């Protein structure tokens, strides 16, 4: 996920629990970019109520990467 021209988030080596969320064209979550104490952060928020055991999904936005 690209934050700025020179800053990218890649959970390949290490990341939060959010790295286990999967893609969906009808997602139940979204990511928002926030600045906290001068540091950029990505936060995952639900778009609707999510049932216990339901998979967390968000739109990977493949168009940005020409995929």
- CATH of the domain spanning 2-65, picked from 2.60.120.380, 2.170.270.10, 2.60.40.2140, 3.30.460.10: 2.170.270.10
Confidence of residue 11 (pLDDT cuts 50, 70, 90): low
Q: pLDDT confidence of 60, banded at 50, 70, 90?
A: confident
**Token pair in block for residue 17:** 């629990």
Per-residue pLDDT tens digits for 23-41: 999 999 998 888 999 988 8
SS3 state of residue 17 = helix
- Enter the pTM of the model: 0.65
The structure tokens listed for 19 are 């790295």
């Amino acid at each position: 996920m690209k934050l700025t021209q020179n800053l990218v988030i890649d959970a390949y080596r290490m990341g939060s629990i959010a790295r286990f969320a999967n893609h969906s064209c009808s997602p139940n979550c979204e990511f928002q970019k926030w600045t906290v104490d001068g540091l950029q952060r990505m936060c995952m928020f639900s778009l609707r109520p999510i049932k216990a055991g339901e998979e967390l999904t968000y739109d990977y936005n493949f168009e940005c990467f020409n995929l």
